[in-house]
Structure 1
Amino acid sequence: MLGDTGEGDASQYSVVPGLLKIGEKTSFAVIASDVIYPTGSGNEYGDKFFRPYQDYDAPIYAIPGNHDWYDGLGGFMRVFCDAPPLKPKPDRGLRGVLWRKPETIDEVALAEARKLRGKTSQQAGPPAAQPGPYWVIESDSLLIVGVDTGIRNEIDRAQTEWLRRVSRDPRPKILVTGKPIYTGNVYKPSRLEDGGTIDDIVRDPAHRYVAAIGGDVHNYQRYPVRLDDGRVIQYVVTGGGGAFMHATHIIDRVDVAGVHEDDFRCYPLRGDSLSFYSQLYAKRLRMRWLYLTPSEAACIMSERIRNEPVRAMAGPVRITRRMRWAARLLGAWPWPLRLPVDKVFHRFLSELSDWDTPPFFKQFLHVTVTSDALTLRCFGATGCLAQELEPPLEDEVRIPLTV
Structure 2
Amino acid sequence: MASTTGLITGAPPSPPTPSRKPLGRKMVSWLDPMTLAKTGIRAAVSSTIGKQADRRLLDALAAPDVNPCDFSVDAAGRPREELWLDYVSDLGDGWDSTYAVAQAVARPILTVRDETGSTYDTRGGELLVFGGDEVYPTASVKAYEERTLHPWTCAIQGQRKPPHMFAIPGNHDWYDGLVSFMRLFCQGRTLSGFETHQRRSYFSVKLPHGWWLIGTDMQLESDLDQPQVRYFQEVARLMREEDRVILCLAEPAWLVSQVRPSEDRTYLENNLRFLEEQVLGKKVSVFLAGDLHHYRRHANDEGRQKIIAGGGGAFLHPTHIPRKEAALDDGFTPRKSFPSAQDSRRLSWRNLGLAVSSPRFGVLTGLLYMLLAWALSVNLGEANVPKALGLVVRTALASPGIVLIAVLVTLGLIGFADKRFGRWRWLAGVLHGLAHLTAAFLLAWGVSHLMGSTELPFGSVERDLLSAVLIFAGGFLAGPTVMGLYLLVSLNVFGVHANEAFSSLAIPDWKNFIRLHIDKAGHLRLYPIGLRRVPRSWKPGELARDPAWVADPKDRRATPPALIEPPIVL
Tell me the secondary structure at the aligned position of residue 365 of structure 1. strand
Q: Among residues 181, 196, 219, which one is paired with 1:150 in the alignment?
A: 219
Tell me the secondary structure at the aligned position of residue 273 of structure 1. helix
C-alpha displacement of 1:361: 0.9
Question: What residue is the counterpart of 1:304 in the other structure?
Answer: none
Q: Among residues 457, 473, 489, which one is paired with 1:329 in the alignment?
A: 489
Relative contact order higher in (CA < 8 Å, ≥ 6 apart): 2
- CA RMSD, Structure 1 to Structure 2 (Å): 3.2
Alpha-carbon distance in structure 1 between the residues aligned to 2:173 and 2:247: 19
Letter of the 1:202 counterpart:
E
Alpha-carbon distance in structure 1 between the residues aligned to 2:295 and 2:310: 6
Range with greater deviation from structure 2 (49-58 or 72-81): 49-58
Question: What residue is the counterpart of 1:306 in the other structure?
Answer: none
The answer on whether the counterparts of 2:105 and 2:124 sit within 8 Å (CA) in structure 1 is no
Q: Among residues 534, 538, 541, which one is paired with 1:383 in the alignment?
A: 534
Alpha-carbon distance in structure 1 between the residues aligned to 2:511 and 2:557: 11
Letter of the 1:39 counterpart:
T
Q: Deviations over 1:61-82 (max 9, x none)?
A: 1100111011110110000112
Question: What residue is the counterpart of 1:216 in the other structure?
Answer: 291
The answer on whether the counterparts of 2:135 and 2:143 sit within 8 Å (CA) in structure 1 is yes
Question: What residue is the counterpart of 1:159 in the other structure?
Answer: 228
Unaligned runs of 5+ in 2: 1-86, 111-121, 157-161, 357-484, 536-554
C-alpha displacement of 1:271: 1.0
Change (3 A) 1:244 1:152: same
Letter of the 2:89 counterpart:
G
Range with greater deviation from structure 2 (250-259 or 175-184): 250-259
Q: Deviations over 1:295-321 (max 9, x none)?
A: xxxxxxxxxxxxxxxxxxxxxxxxxxx
C-alpha displacement of 1:366: 0.7
C-alpha displacement of 1:11: 2.4
Change (3 A) 1:271 1:2: same
1:1-400 equivalent positions in 2, closer than 5 A: 1-21=87-107, 22=110, 24-54=123-153, 55-56=155-156, 57-82=162-187, 117-119=191-193, 122-124=194-196, 129-141=197-209, 142-168=211-237, 169-170=239-240, 171-183=243-255, 186=258, 188=265, 191=268, 196-202=270-276, 206-226=281-301, 231-257=302-328, 263-278=334-349, 280-284=350-354, 329=489, 331-334=491-494, 342-343=498-499, 345=500, 350=503, 352-355=504-507, 360-370=509-519, 371-381=521-531, 382-384=533-535, 390-400=560-570
Change (3 A) 1:152 1:390: same
What percentage of residue pairs aligned between the two structures are identical?
A: 23
C-alpha displacement of 1:208: 4.3
C-alpha displacement of 1:330: 6.1
Tell me the secondary structure at the aligned position of residue 213 of structure 2. strand
Change (3 A) 1:25 1:4: closer
User: For the pair shown, which has the larger CA radius of gyration, 1 or 2?
Assistant: 2
C-alpha displacement of 1:19: 2.0
C-alpha displacement of 1:209: 1.8
Unaligned runs of 5+ in 1: 84-110, 287-324
Alpha-carbon distance in structure 2 between the residues aligned to 1:377 and 1:201: 26
Q: Which has the higher helix share?
A: 2
C-alpha displacement of 1:328: 6.2
- The TM-score normalised by the length of structure 1 is 0.67
Tell me the secondary structure at the aligned position of residue 304 of structure 2. strand
C-alpha displacement of 1:222: 1.0
The answer on whether the counterparts of 1:254 and 1:264 sit within 8 Å (CA) in structure 2 is no
The answer on whether the counterparts of 1:185 and 1:252 sit within 8 Å (CA) in structure 2 is no
Q: Deviations over 1:206-263 (max 9, x none)?
A: 424201111111111111134xxxx342111111111111111222222232688974
The answer on whether the counterparts of 2:130 and 2:165 sit within 8 Å (CA) in structure 1 is yes
Alpha-carbon distance in structure 1 between the residues aligned to 2:225 and 2:325: 32
Letter of the 2:248 counterpart:
V
The answer on whether the counterparts of 2:319 and 2:341 sit within 8 Å (CA) in structure 1 is yes
C-alpha displacement of 1:24: 4.9
Question: What residue is the counterpart of 2:383 in the other structure?
Answer: none
Tell me the secondary structure at the aligned position of residue 14 of structure 1. helix
Change (3 A) 1:62 1:76: same
- The TM-score normalised by the length of structure 2 is 0.49
Tell me the secondary structure at the aligned position of residue 147 of structure 2. helix
Letter of the 1:275 counterpart:
R
